Amino acid sequence: MSSTLKSLRALSDPTRLRIVALLEKDEISVNELQEVTRLGQSRISTHLGLLADCKLVTARRDGKRTFYKLNPQADDVASEFIQLAIRGAKELPEQASDQINLKRVLNRRREKAEVYFNQIAGRFDRVYGPGRSWQAFGHLLLRMLPPITVADLGAGEGLLSELLARRCKKVIAVDNSEKIVAFGAAKAKKNGLKNLEFRQGDLQTPPIEANSVDLVILSQSLHHAEDPAAALASSAKLLKPNGQILILDLLRHNFDKAHELYGDRWLGFAESDLHRWLEAAGFRKIEISIVAAEEQPPHFQTILASGEKL
């Protein structure tokens, strides 16, 4: 049977005209159509099957539900049939109640989502949100990075370096531990990150050419330096003019065991000390703030400091 004849036949039934008219505004699930039209599920499914067969409507599975909508890719002939069906449905006695019921069902669908978000308003960041994580936010923020050269000093096995290497032109990861450097380099190779280079060296005298990088990062490594002020002065030398430094470290704390447990040389830093050392190293536009606080004792707080090379 030609598609024109099939469509004419499909639209010869008033219920199918009603269904086409209902799908004009939004995509609707079989259950919702059932509620609007008060027809049984199997009858509706049969009608929808016929309409889909003529390519007047399309279906989308969403878990256990199937949503239907008017075919957005309908050709000229099918589009004409759809418009005729919508016009025809307006002359049916069920038109008014169908439209009222449809409005109610669609409103309730919207309200369901609103009710949920209204319930969690004010504690949004404390409740579970599917797919929402700091890791995902990190990836999103990374996309904003321009193609720069980064020195990650005291890089460890390269957790951050690897992330950065996915966006940056080049990342040089410096660490003084031979084993960590070997492990990090092997992992970078395995992950195909050719622009991530591990170098063994001290963060106070990094094995990196002066004036060669756009960004220096010291993530939880400055408190291992023998002389943090000297380390910041060395970092400044690596940077090109207007290059940036970013430091993540611990705010000054009294948890003595950190020496023994984590090999820390310094028990974090006061904001004023970091500010003074950065200024002395030739940085301007210095910004320092506490960006995280742990809920568990000893309640470490994370400090983020940044500056731009003069």
Of the candidate residues 151, 155, 185, 288, the single one contacting ligand SAM (CB under 6 A): 155
Cβ density class 57-82: b for 16+ within 10 Å, e for less: bbeeeeeeeebbebbeebeeebeebb
**175 makes contact with ligand SAM (CB under 6 A):** yes
Query: Cβ of residue 214: shortest distance to ligand SAM, in angstroms?
Result: 18
Judged by CB under 6 A, the stretch of 62-70, 78-86, 172-180, 253-261 that binds ligand SAM is 172-180
Q: Is the dihedral of CA 124, 127, 131, 132 positive or negative?
A: positive
Q: Check: CB of residue 36 under 8 Å from CB of residue 108.
A: no
* Contact flag: residue 162 with ligand SAM (CB under 6 A): no
Q: Where are the beta strands (DSSP E) in 141-271?
A: 149-153, 170-175, 196-200, 213-219, 239-250
Q: Beta 301-309 vs 213-219: how paired, if at all?
A: unpaired
- 149 interacts with ligand SAM by CB under 6 A: no
- Residue 39 is given by DSSP the state -
Q: Is 307 in the site for ligand SAM (CB under 6 A)?
A: no
Binders of ligand SAM in range 67-96 (CB under 6 A): none
Could you tell me the two tokens for 1?
Answer: 């049977």
Counting contacts by CB under 6 A, is residue 288 touching ligand SAM?
Answer: no
| Part of the chain binding ligand SAM (CB under 6 A), chosen from 36-44, 169-177, 208-216, 233-241 | 169-177
Q: Of the candidates 177, 195, 212, 302, which one interacts with ligand SAM according to CB under 6 A?
A: 177
Q: Which residue, 128 or 134, has its beta carbon nearer to ligand SAM? A: 134
151 three-state secondary structure: strand
Query: Please, what is the minimum distance in Å from the beta carbon of residue 44 to ligand SAM?
Result: 57
| Residues ≥6 apart with Cβ < 8 Å to 148 | 168, 169, 213, 214, 215
Helix (H, G, I), strand (E, B) or coil at 156: coil
Structure tokens at 65: 């539900």
The nearest distance, CB 188 to ligand SAM, in angstroms, is 14
Of 150, 160, 165, 185, the residue at the interface with ligand SAM (CB under 6 A) is: 160
Interface positions, 216-275, toward ligand SAM (CB under 6 A): 219-221, 224-225
305 belongs to the binding site for ligand SAM (CB under 6 A):
no
Question: Which C-beta is closer to ligand SAM: that of 71 or that of 161?
Answer: 161
Q: Which of 42, 45, 56, 58 is nearest to 86 (CA)?
A: 56
**Residues binding ligand SAM: number (CB under 6 A):** 17
Assess contact for 236 and 245: CB atoms under 8 A.
yes
Calculate the dihedral angle through the C-alpha atoms of 134, 135, 136, 138, rounding to the nearest 10 degrees: 80
Instruction: Choose between 78 and 231: whose C-beta lies nearer to ligand SAM.
Output: 231
Least Cβ distance, residue 227 to ligand SAM (angstroms)? 10
> In the bound complex, what is the minimum distance in angstroms from residue 175's beta carbon to ligand SAM?
5
Enumerate binding residues for ligand SAM (CB under 6 A): 154-156, 159-160, 174-177, 180, 202-203, 219-221, 224-225
